């Protein structure tokens, strides 16, 4: 599923915001509320339940981490 983190969505009971913000906010909810979190989108899939929100949270976090640079194995004198 390809998504645009800047897409305007609605987090149910929390209002309209960008997808990245909605995912972050849903992950900050109390566990009982988090399980009921729902994001409504204009594109497909139109409804994201918690399992999809959790997946997006992990994907957004991975994309924000800087890539590790490979170390050179050669010794400098």
Gyration radius of the chain's alpha carbons: 17
Q: What is the pLDDT of residues 14-67, one digit of tens each?
A: 999 999 999 999 999 999 999 999 999 998 999 999 999 999 999 998 887 666
Q: CA-to-CA distance for 41 and 58, rounded, in angstroms?
A: 19
Query: For residue 43, what are the domain limits?
Result: 8-61
Enumerate the β-bridge partners of residue 47: 40
Residue 30 falls within a domain, yes or no?
A: yes
Q: Across-strand partners of 17? A: 9
Number of domains in the chain: 1
Q: How confident is the model at residue 75 (pLDDT cuts 50, 70, 90)?
A: low
With 0-12 / 13-18 / 19 or more C-beta atoms within 10 angstroms meaning exposed / middle / buried, residue 14 is middle
For residue 72, being part of any structural domain is answered with: no
1 in a domain, yes or no? Answer: no
The better pLDDT of the pair 70, 9 is held by 9
């Amino acid at each position: 599923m390809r998504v645009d983190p800047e897409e305007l969505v609605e987090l149910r009971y929390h209002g309209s915001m960008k997808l990245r913000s909605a995912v972050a906010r849903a992950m900050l909810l109390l566990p009982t509320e988090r399980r009921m979190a729902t994001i409504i989108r204009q594109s497909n899939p139109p409804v994201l339940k918690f399992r999809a929100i959790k997946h997006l949270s992990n994907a957004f976090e991975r994309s924000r981490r800087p890539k590790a640079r490979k170390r050179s194995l050669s010794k400098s004198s």
